[in-house]
Chain A
């Protein structure tokens, strides 16, 4: 079967979960070949990628790939597309992943599909658009299919493969060196999983009432090993940092479980979470639109319900 390139998402030298999902997905359609771009490659990385089915691992580990915004990674992929003629390229549908895919599409004169929630035979991609209101199947008709896939679209399943390494030397163009990263500022790292990758997300909205009160949301999240999200009302009010905003102008999440407390559920919010597998809603307003898409809803005061839920979870563990 022909090769499918999977760009590895990594942070601090660790492979992110979404990459394991993409390798699992690629395995159903061809032979997965992982592409590592940037510094930090290690034996542990190799073992992880092989464990999840990477037959081959292309390693472009030059430090300078990580020194500039997006463009170097697109050049690494473009070189591999030219040399290896893969059947397709899969990239995680993160902010940066989509930008890499976009540049790669221009470089290779190839079609690109954004934010797929599934990919089937013939690389027909499934997308959920208009805030989850319409399901679309689409496919690339020119060049190499480049598909960005939403995190949490596939359950990662291990299946050992060779993980044969191949070094890739890339001579970066001047254009790829145009936007230099001079400092990386790490905020709010903490022990919680990353919002877009988390299997469970607990979000708070206007009903939470203040920044201090978000500790109630955080305690529930920590009891479940979940990430914390916030509605736009909460981030606009300054109660929670902007990077945790779920919704149309923030992050799109698709976790196994999404718990919304004090969020009425305007379409702007639903656009960012509607493809969550299970949705639990806690709101004192029985008319809150989010109840319409809830698998389980509690009409009640979140300051009573959320701490009780947290306590019950701790008891059952």
Chain B
């Protein structure tokens, strides 16, 4: 089975994240880049499926030069090879542009299964997997908490507000995962060493047949009008419980008409 797992480098949530004042895009230099957390679950699931069914796991990442750190991490976890979609023309692409670029790269790589995290911690649109399924004409098996493959049949449990749906489709398919699905492994020392020797192919816009007028900030379907740091919340009242903390909290809720 030919599995492609999409990973994204995102700014570390624990550091201060900013938009750039010049073009209002994410400031990728201001914060440390880390693997988008949910994508680690996607890598883990890809590796488990490969271990069970054989095949190959290819990492695909779109991003600037430093996204190679994220690619190496996924390779260190055990993926076989990687494709880095890297071109200045891709800078500032919105979800539509990103989904176009990645779907074109996927067509070039070829796949039986595409796996990605259900959302990124920076943009948090939660739309990419659905957009890829739409563009590729492949079944959308998203928000999966369980994945099973048998021959060309694939079954997932898709989380819903009321529990989950059991969903069936045929490969090739697009899967997005939630963190409930597994526990990502840590790269071993051997994995980290061997990752340095694994092949990483770099694709640009022309290499992947990406339409230049569909990507980049200037061609985005939406724009940021303005942005500002959120004003800090007005300082609240914090009391120490002297045996009447619950009653004091009830008074507060009453004053706000919640009781």
Question: Which residues of B sit under 8 angstroms from A188, Cβ to Cβ?
Answer: 163
Please tell me which one of the listed residues B19, B96, B125, B160 contacts residue A134 in the complex, with CB atoms under 8 A apart: B19
Range, interface on chain A:
35 or more
Question: Which residues of B sit under 8 angstroms from A278, Cβ to Cβ?
Answer: 256, 258
The distance in angstroms between the C-alpha atoms of A109 and B19, with both chains bound, is 26
Interface membership of B166, Cβ < 8 A: yes
- Determine if A106 and B99 form an interchain contact, defined as CB atoms under 8 angstroms apart: yes
- Determine if A74 and B134 form an interchain contact, defined as CB atoms under 8 angstroms apart: yes
The distance in angstroms between the C-alpha atoms of A294 and B238, with both chains bound, is 8
Known A181-B166, A298-B241; further 9 A-B contacts with Cβ < 8 A: A96-B160, A101-B127, A102-B125, A112-B95, A184-B162, A243-B159, A279-B233, A300-B245, A308-B246
The distance in angstroms between the C-alpha atoms of A282 and B241, with both chains bound, is 10
- Determine if A309 and B224 form an interchain contact, defined as CB atoms under 8 angstroms apart: no
Interface membership of A172, Cβ < 8 A: no
Interface membership of B223, Cβ < 8 A: yes
- Determine if B221 and A141 form an interchain contact, defined as CB atoms under 8 angstroms apart: yes
Residues facing B in A127-156 (CB within 8 A) are 128-143
Residues of A within 8 A of B (CB): 11, 69-71, 74, 94-96, 98-103, 105-107, 109-115, 124, 128-143, 175, 178-189, 194-196, 200, 224, 242-243, 248-249, 256-257, 267-268, 271, 278-282, 286, 291, 293-301, 304-313, 316-317
What are the 5 tightest A-B residue pairs by CB atom distance, in nearest-first order?
A: A300-B241, A308-B246, A111-B221, A102-B127, A312-B250
Question: Which residues of A sit under 8 angstroms from B16, Cβ to Cβ?
Answer: 133
CB distance from A23 to the nearest CB of B (A): 20
Question: Which residues of B sit under 8 angstroms from A243, Cβ to Cβ?
Answer: 159, 161, 163
Count of A-B contacts judged by CB separation below 8 Å: 285
Interface of A, secondary structure class, is mixed
B47-55, B136-144, B200-208: which lies at the interface: B136-144
- Determine if B249 and A305 form an interchain contact, defined as CB atoms under 8 angstroms apart: yes
Closest to A137 in B: B225
The distance in angstroms between the C-alpha atoms of A137 and B227, with both chains bound, is 6
- Determine if B227 and A135 form an interchain contact, defined as CB atoms under 8 angstroms apart: yes
Closest to B128 in A: A102
Question: Which residues of A sit under 8 angstroms from B256, Cβ to Cβ?
Answer: 257, 278
Known: A134-B229, A181-B167. A297 touches B142 (CB 8 A): no
- Determine if A317 and B167 form an interchain contact, defined as CB atoms under 8 angstroms apart: no
